[in-house]
Structure 1
Amino acid sequence: MPELILPTTRLHAAFLECRDDWGPGEHEDGFGLAADDDVDSPDGFAAWVHDRTRLVHPIGSPCPAEKHGSPRWIVDNGQVLGGIALRHILDDDIGQIGYGIRPSARRRGLAGWALGEMLKEARDGLGWDRVLIPCLADNVASARTIERNGGVLEGIRDTERGPVRRYWITLVR
């Protein structure tokens, strides 16, 4: 059974397997991984995990502006299958939720399940009424996942990453 967990150094090898599943140069939403991040060395990985988790917002408590989000890894049986992040400040370009599932774990419903869990956190933990979730315009699987979770297409915008679909999801109480 999959679970959402905070990033942890305990799963260093499993994280590297997940990253390698995407191949070189691919950095998926949900992990906050940049091309110049050192996640290969134990010290570099520990620093990267610390940076991801040092400002994590505890569910149900007020969210000061400096608290940047709720990163989670999608884990099953010690394998890192993907990542999802709920950003606590609206960024009009990247939205409030980003996620990615490693290629070998796709088509299992993991993205939809994880997105549903983060939508509950946004509604119940943060008290939000709606969230913005963009995806690349040609990412049909992600668009379907967002739509199945209640996403309503606002439109398509040109961005540095290319055309992006912008979806709003109303969080029903």
Structure 2
Amino acid sequence: MTDIYLIEATFEYAEQVWQFRQEVFDYDNNSESQFAGCLSLDEAASAEEWIRWCQLRTSKETCEQTGVDVPSTTYFAIRKKDNRLVGIIDLRHHINHPILGTWGGHCGYTVRPSERGNGFAKEMLRLNLNNAKTLGIEKLLITCHSDNAASEKTILANGGVYEKPIAVEGTKIKRYWIDITR
């Protein structure tokens, strides 16, 4: 599938980000991980504010201004044929952190609810593995809730190797590793 490409968070898509946010609120209001890969999108006062936060998070020198210790890059998954934001995925530059190294992992992602079931998550993760390789990440940790069959399928389709289950505050989570060097 080459229907989409990833682009770093940019103001060009601010209006679509805000529509994406509202759609996730409307469809996933009971999900505790509704904004996986979209750190703080639910807390931002505007799309522009959130995109600024994303841009600050890319650098070790500025990420702490947004309340995080580990730099990350947030990417928009854009469908080529109509320039539509179909998903958001992030990539943490390392996981040398107690939460990230245990259950947060290197990346998280959310597909726009109206676009789910079209293979976008699988392609977003595949493309993000290239970004991880560019950063020098050799093995990528990715996790999902044990009852999230769609995410597990996405991880497995991208070479995820199951490691073990863990419990985080009563929630069962599965840990997977993807070898980036292959």
Match of 1:38 in 2: 45
Deviations 1:28-71 (A, max 9, x none): 212113543212xxxxx3222111112426xxxxxxxx760121
Partner SS state of residue 30, structure 1: coil
Deviations 1:111-140 (A, max 9, x none): 1111111111212x1222211000111100
The answer to whether the 8 A contact 2:35-2:41 is kept is: no
Partners of 2:76 and 2:107 lie apart in 1 by: 13
The alignment status of 1:151 with 2:160, answered yes or no, reads yes
Distance 1:34 1:19, change over 3 A: closer
Mean CA deviation greater in 95-104 or 20-29: 20-29
Match of 1:28 in 2: 35
Partner SS state of residue 54, structure 1: helix
The within-5 A match list for 1:16-165 is 16-24=18-26, 25=29, 27-39=34-46, 45-56=47-58, 68-76=71-79, 77-90=82-95, 91-92=100-101, 93-123=103-133, 125-160=134-169, 162-165=171-174
The within-5 A match list for 1:10-21 is 10-21=12-23
Q: TM-score, normalised by structure 1?
A: 0.82
More helix by share: 2
The AA in structure 2 aligned to 1:56 is: T
Q: Which structure 1 segments of 5+ residues have no match?
A: 40-44, 58-65
% same residue: 28
Match of 1:5 in 2: 7
Q: TM-score, normalised by structure 2?
A: 0.79
The AA in structure 2 aligned to 1:151 is: G
The answer to whether the 8 A contact 1:151-1:168 is kept is: yes
The AA in structure 2 aligned to 1:30 is: G
The answer to whether the 8 A contact 1:83-1:100 is kept is: yes
Q: Which structure 2 segments of 5+ residues have no match?
A: 60-68
